Structure formats: structure tokens, C-alpha cells
Amino acid sequence: MHRTWGNATAKIFVVEPLGSSGRFLTAAARDHSAVVHAGTHKDIYDSYPAGLRAELAGVCRTDLADPDRALDEMEAYCRAEGVDAVAACWELLTPLATRLAHRLGLPGNDPDRAEASRNKIAMAAALEHAGVSVPRTVVAGTGDEALDLIGAADLAFPLVIKPAEQGGSWGVSVVGGPDEVRAAVDAAQQYTVAAPHGLSLDPRVIVQEYVDGPEYSADTVVQDGRPFPLPVVRKHTTVDAYRIEIGHTCPAPLPHAAAHEIQAVAARAALAVGIRDGVAHTELKLPPGSGRPVVIETGARLPGGNICEVVEHATGISEARAYLRVVLGQAPETTALRDAACAIRFLVPPRAGILRTLRTADLPGVYSEFTVRPGDPLRAPVDNSCRIGHVIATAPNPAQAELLADRAISQTTIEVA
């Protein structure tokens, strides 16, 4: 196979490009004259936006909820098309992409550790085994079992309860005492099937110590087991029981030594869950006074939350291009091309209902994007799926970028009926 980057002989197969990073992957491929093929469900493909369908050179229609069948069908498709690389952007499908690359003999991650980048139980075990600092964790199947294990492990409240397999803050809550545990476990266990593919999920929950301190993300591109760190990003969340991501800032306003340590820990986390030729998105916290980052979770994918866009605005680095290069067997390009800053803030409705009005201020250096219009139903603000748009600000430094973005949010009107 020819793994040529920069002309149409490079064929990249993406396991479900509908994910939030799919548009960055397809754009990076298009900009460098590669072509993209996709694996997805027929009904999901039929619902793709016209722009995404236009980016695809071909589609393998399969049933991703039946991984063995999907693997066989996608392997046959890739061999027939002469595919040069396999990528993924839907977190729950990354193990399937890893197995596909392995079958095809293409660059990819370790298939024996693929579940550790999807299942938070396997992830916590892999990280701890590798000596990566993680919150103390117990695994429970019921609320009563969770209470027993919390007592046996002498875990101190507050605690974080989350599904073993989910993303986007779905089912995640912070509990302040024993009387909140059963309800939090019940909420986490609502998510046993993942839409839109119908994937069966591990019904268990993990209970973890709450780690205080600011939160960051650090992405890592890995080629042949060698990590290439990407810029550290400051993550902003709500502070109530449901921790919704409400913004990101790149670069994170940190001393150089602290940023370097976060990158180093993120790289160790990526290698611990088997990232060998791919990308990892790692979320960490920096407890006050410790200087030792604690990994909250990591995944074998590009980041969501428009982080690819934020990083590129600030540094000129295309995370999607770097990822595609390593799955094509080439060294990634991770050197910053400019020294600026970018901040994104998400628009979150105050409650569920029907949108009446949505408008933002017109400020220099800021642009906005809405995903809803008046008359659309809005979800309750309990996870990331409630977000209805965002504002992005660019400036010479992080403080100015954050000031601009926060000013735009403060001048935004959201009226809900």
C-alpha cells in the first residue's frame, strides 16, 4: 500500500466521521489532497449533513453495534479499496478502529489495550499500573454496593460518580454525602446504550475521589511509541453537581514548568492505555500546592469541544493533520507556527424549554456560532449536549482572549419559554 501524504493516492478510512472532530479530520485530508472513506450505519449516513457526505469518497455501511460483523465488513471494504490508514473520532468506537488497523497491518494502537481508552474501569487500572497519578477509584454495580465500597475504602466526600463507559459529561455528578450516592448511581446507569449507533455499554459505575484544583487538557500525538506533546489547554466547567464544559483557553495560563509537567504526564497516560500510532486527549487536574498533575481520564481520539480549532487559532498547529500523518506512518508536525491565544466559551441555556431569543454582541476579535434557532427545544443544563453554540476570541495572550470571550458571554441574551 502507498501511504502517500499530499496527493490523492492516500486513502484514509474513518470509523464514523460524524463525531465532533470529524469535520477537522475531513478538512485536513481535503487540504492535502487525500481522500476519506467512512464506516457507519446506513441510517446514520442518510442523516449526514450534505457537506459531510460530499467529503467522502466511499462508505462502508455496516452495523457498528455488532463489532465482529462490522470488523469483517470494514476489513473487506478497506482491502478492496486499498486503504492506507485507519482513523477514528467517535470515542466509543476507537477500540474497533484499533482492531481494524491491526488486521490490515496499518499503523495503529495496541489492540490488547484498546478497551482501556474507552472503558474507565480498565483505564483507571492501566494508568495506576503504569504509575500515573489518578484519583482513588472503586467500581460498583448498584447504589448500595457503592455505599459499601466507599466505606470500605474510606473515601472522603465529595466524590465523583460516572458511568464506566460514556462521554460528554453524560451521567457524571459530584456528590457531597452518602444520601446523594444512590440517586447519582441511578443517573449514571441510565446510559447503557450509546446513541446513535446502539452500542451496548458497561452498566457499572466508577466512584472516584474528587480532585480539587484547576482542570486542563493535554493532547498527545504518538508515532511508533514516541509521544509528541501538544499545547496545554485550560478547561472551564460549571461548579454545581453536573460539571458541564463551558470553555477552553489555549495556551493555558501556566508557568512553563507546570505546562511541561502536564504534557509529560499526559504522554505517560497515552502510552499506558496503548496509544502507539495515534492521538490521545487527556484531561488532568492540578491540585493546589502539589505540582503533581492527576489524570482524570484519557481517550484515543482527537479532542471535542472545538479544541482543534482553538489550538490552531492560537498556535497554527493542526491536531487533525498531525493525527493523520501518524496513521499514515509519517512524523507529525507539532511545532507552533505562531504565538497567540484563543478562548472558546459555550452558550448554555438556563433551563430546558423552547428557545425564544438568542443573540450575542458584535465585538472585535470575537465570532459566534449558533446550533439552534428560535422555536427549537433546549435540553436541561446537565451535560455537554445542552450547549447551543459558542463564541471564540483570539488575542495576543490568554488573559486578553479570556477577557474578550467572557465579555461576549456576558453580553449574550438567551430567552427560554
- Partner residues linked to 415 by β-bridges: 357
Domains of the chain in start order, with CATH, are 11-106 (3.40.50.20), 136-209 (3.30.1490.20), 211-331 (3.30.470.20), 340-417 (3.30.470.20)
**Residue 172 to residue 165: CA distance in whole angstroms:** 11
**Residue 158, pLDDT score:** 97
Residue 359, CA distances (Å) to 44, 83, 191, 412 in order:
31, 45, 33, 6
| Contact indicator for 132, 295 with CB cutoff of 8 Å | yes
Q: Calculate mean pLDDT across residues 75-98.
A: 96
**Predicted pLDDT at 4:** 54
Look at residues 267, 263, 264, 279 and name the one whose alpha carbon lies nearest to residue 325.
279
Pairing of strands 11-15, 377-378: unpaired
Q: Which residues of 237-253 are buried (b: 16+ CB within 10 A; e: fewer)?
A: eeeebbbbbbbbbbbbe
In terms of phi and psi (left: phi > 0; alpha: psi -120 to 50; beta: otherwise), the region of 325 is alpha
* CB 38 within 8 Å of CB 8: no
Smallest CA-to-CA distance from 9 within 84, 101, 105 is with 84
Q: In the predicted model, what is the mean pLDDT of the chain?
A: 95
Identity of the amino acid at 71: L
For the stretch 263-307, pLDDT in tens is: 999 999 999 999 999 999 999 999 998 879 999 999 999 999 999
Residue 118 has pLDDT above 60, yes or no: yes
Q: ω before 350 within 30° of 0 (cis)?
A: no
User: In sequence order, what DSSP letters do the residues of 193-226 get, joined into one string?
Assistant: EETTTTEE----EEEEEPPPS-EEEEEEEEETTE
> Mean pLDDT across the stretch 200-225?
97
- The answer to whether residues 101 and 323 touch, using CB atoms and an 8 Å cutoff, is no
Which pLDDT does position 185 carry in this prediction? 97
232, containing H or E segment: strand 226-237
pLDDT of the residue at 244: 87
pLDDT for residue 369 is more than 90? yes
Q: With 60 as the cut, is the pLDDT of residue 135 above it?
A: yes
How confident is the model over 168-204, as pLDDT tens digits? 678 899 999 999 999 999 999 998 899 899 999 999 9
What would the pLDDT profile of 235-270 be if each residue is shown by its tens digit? 999 877 677 899 999 999 999 999 999 999 999 999
Q: Which residues contact 259 (CB under 8 A, 6 or more apart)?
A: 232, 251, 252
Q: For 91, phi and psi rounded to 5 degrees?
A: -50, -45
Q: Are 329 and 107 within 8 A, CB to CB?
A: yes
Of 169, 173, 132, the C-alpha closest to 294 is: 132
**Cell 486527549, located at residue:** 281
Find the mean pLDDT for residues 330-355: 97
Strands 137-140 and 205-209, sheet pairing: antiparallel
